[in-house]
Chains A and B, each alone.
Chain A
Amino acid sequence: MRCLAVLVVALALAVGFSVPASANVWENQLDSTTDGDTATLTGSQERQGSDGTESRSAGNDARGQQSASAWTPPPGIPPWVVPVERCVAQGDVAADCSAARPGAHTAPPPADAAPGTPGITIRDVASFRPELATLTSEPSGWAVRGLDANILATGGSSVRTGELFGTVAEVRFTPVAYLFDYGDGSAPLSTSTPGATWEALGLDEFDPTPTSHVYTASGTYTITLLVDYAAEYRVGGSGPFTAIPGTLAIPSPPIEIVVADSAATALVDRDCVSNPRGPGC
């Protein structure tokens, strides 16, 4: 195994092949590969440490060249080129499930599909971005330590039109699960409800709701939301939608919330006249 590893690099050096400029985890998660953005391996792969001398490895030469290049999004990047499928059954967030559940997300062709129409998978429709759910908090942007802050998601189903296997198709996304992370180190809340405002629930401010959260320490917290979307599709602009197995887990833009020690602190620039429903009023 060791010889093979060396051989791979030695052959690469011998033919002077190029590797992508990106070299670390950061760059390779994006991959800034472009035609003019490669570094050529040169130099010796041998390393000698026992006598205190070492020659630089080929990889270091490559890295030295690439470190000067700044990443810019290449033109034409599809908006969603690497869909993230969520393993709901396993509880994994944003994990690739294709290996864990081989074939599980391959849908049969719809009954009315034209001959030769391939089965549609969740990955096929991932380029149709659903309308993102929006995180909001009540009271807006702040909370009081020890009292419930109502965190909720808004945004329902959305239909997107685009091309699927050369045919115009509509894809309908419906949020089916929500993962609220309140940013304070507590366990994220996984729920099928997006939550609702206190008013819609017929509750008073700071009452508990299915998606509310009590912060135990003051400070500023970043709340994140991951929404699982189910997808359906149809072609031809009419007829029923056909469900596609699997879900897409897509994060919503995070929000920040400031948690104050007391109602008096939270309402430092307000009073019970201007905000009669504020805490403590």
Chain B
Amino acid sequence: MPSAPPAAEAEPLFASDEEALAAAEAAYAEYLAVVNTVLQEGGTDPERIRPLVSNEVWTDDLQGAERWQQEGLISIGETRLEKSVLQQVISTESSTEVVTYNCLSNTGVDVLNEAGESVVSADRPTAYVIESVVSFTAPEDWTLEEYSEVEEVESCAAWQS
């Protein structure tokens, strides 16, 4: 009996690690921009985030948005993605997951209550690093699967330099 031909190796979605990193960074930046808008608008209409994220992330983000609504908070300024580095690329038959570390900066961001008073903690870090997992089924078709904080840093400029 002839043996089955070897399965064709899946064509990699990204030609290089650099390309995967760029795609993941762009995806996270797009997600962050939407989150910033929701924060600046007092947590209203969080459904804007839903198409970009997994159920797990959506659950967390919805809680955040609801708290902004319930406590009458608005954000001034925006959290900025300042640097991303690649951890690894995981390719499966159905998708490609790109794991990155992203350094986010809160410099210049304030959160105000309904009285216009800042409710920001005095020792809030100005920068922190999160690990994110973005899955791609095509270079432009992605979902933020999960994220988690890794560490606080003094600044993104100093991080990994």
Which A residues form the contact surface with B (CB < 8 A)?
1-2, 4-6, 8-9, 12, 17, 19-20, 22-33, 47-50, 52, 54, 57-60, 62-63, 67, 71, 73-74, 76-85, 94-96, 98-99, 129, 132, 249-253
A-B contact pairs, 25 of them (CB 8 A): A1-B160, A6-B87, A12-B151, A19-B152, A23-B130, A23-B148, A24-B61, A25-B36, A26-B61, A26-B65, A28-B79, A28-B124, A28-B128, A29-B109, A30-B119, A47-B99, A54-B90, A62-B149, A77-B118, A79-B118, A82-B110, A83-B110, A94-B76, A95-B77, A99-B107
Contact residues in B for A27 (Cβ distance below 8 Å): 64
Distance in angstroms between the alpha carbons of A80 and B77 in the assembled complex: 15
Contact residues in B for A250 (Cβ distance below 8 Å): 116
Q: How far is the CB of B112 from chain A (nearest CB, A)?
A: 6
Asked if B122 and A78 make an inter-chain contact with CB atoms under 8 angstroms apart, the answer reads yes
Q: A5-B85, A27-B64, A33-B124 are in contact. Are A253 and B149 (CB under 8 A)?
A: no
Q: A50-B90, A52-B92, A95-B108 are in contact. Are A84 and B76 (CB under 8 A)?
A: yes
**What 7 A-B pairs have minimum CB-CB distances, sorted nearest first?**
A59-B148, A96-B108, A26-B64, A49-B90, A31-B124, A23-B149, A63-B148
Asked if B149 and A63 make an inter-chain contact with CB atoms under 8 angstroms apart, the answer reads yes
Q: How far is the CB of B4 from chain A (nearest CB, A)?
A: 20
Asked if B122 and A25 make an inter-chain contact with CB atoms under 8 angstroms apart, the answer reads no
Q: How many residues of B contact A (CB 8 A)?
A: 59
Task: Identify which of A2, A23, A48, A251 contacts B74 (C-beta below 8 A).
Answer: A251
Task: Identify which of B77, B114, B149 contacts A28 (C-beta below 8 A).
Answer: B149
Asked if B107 and A96 make an inter-chain contact with CB atoms under 8 angstroms apart, the answer reads yes
Distance in angstroms between the alpha carbons of A73 and B122 in the assembled complex: 10
Q: How far is the CB of A83 from chain B (nearest CB, A)?
A: 8
Asked if A77 and B121 make an inter-chain contact with CB atoms under 8 angstroms apart, the answer reads yes
| Interface SS of chain A | loop
Q: Determine if B136 is an interface residue (Cβ-Cβ < 8 Å).
A: no
Distance in angstroms between the alpha carbons of A244 and B146 in the assembled complex: 45
Asked if B122 and A76 make an inter-chain contact with CB atoms under 8 angstroms apart, the answer reads yes
Asked if A79 and B99 make an inter-chain contact with CB atoms under 8 angstroms apart, the answer reads no
Q: A49-B97, A58-B150 are in contact. Are A4 and B116 (CB under 8 A)?
A: no
Distance in angstroms between the alpha carbons of A251 and B40 in the assembled complex: 12
Asked if A77 and B87 make an inter-chain contact with CB atoms under 8 angstroms apart, the answer reads no
Which residues of B, 47-101, contact A by the 8 Å Cβ criterion? 60-61, 63-65, 67-68, 74-77, 79, 85-88, 90-92, 97, 99, 101
Distance in angstroms between the alpha carbons of A77 and B74 in the assembled complex: 17
Q: Flag B104-135 by CB within 8 Å of A: 1 or 0 each.
A: 10111111101111111111110011110000
Q: Determine if B14 is an interface residue (Cβ-Cβ < 8 Å).
A: no
Asked if A25 and B87 make an inter-chain contact with CB atoms under 8 angstroms apart, the answer reads no
Asked if B106 and A29 make an inter-chain contact with CB atoms under 8 angstroms apart, the answer reads yes
Distance in angstroms between the alpha carbons of A161 and B32 in the assembled complex: 39
Task: Identify which of B36, B109, B150 contacts A82 (C-beta below 8 A).
Answer: B109
Contact residues in A for B147 (Cβ distance below 8 Å): 23-24, 59, 63
Asked if B120 and A29 make an inter-chain contact with CB atoms under 8 angstroms apart, the answer reads yes
Asked if A9 and B110 make an inter-chain contact with CB atoms under 8 angstroms apart, the answer reads no
Q: How far is the CB of B64 from chain A (nearest CB, A)?
A: 3
Asked if B120 and A82 make an inter-chain contact with CB atoms under 8 angstroms apart, the answer reads yes
Asked if B121 and A33 make an inter-chain contact with CB atoms under 8 angstroms apart, the answer reads yes
Asked if B111 and A30 make an inter-chain contact with CB atoms under 8 angstroms apart, the answer reads yes
Q: A49-B91, A50-B92, A95-B108 are in contact. Are A24 and B60 (CB under 8 A)?
A: yes
Distance in angstroms between the alpha carbons of A137 and B88 in the assembled complex: 55
Distance in angstroms between the alpha carbons of A24 and B104 in the assembled complex: 10
**What residue of chain A has the Cβ atom nearest to residue B109's Cβ?**
A29
Distance in angstroms between the alpha carbons of A154 and B54 in the assembled complex: 46
Asked if B124 and A25 make an inter-chain contact with CB atoms under 8 angstroms apart, the answer reads no
Q: What 12 new A-B contacts, CB under 8 Å, besides A9-B101, A24-B60, A31-B125?
A: A4-B85, A9-B131, A20-B149, A24-B61, A26-B64, A28-B149, A54-B90, A58-B148, A71-B67, A77-B119, A251-B76, A253-B114
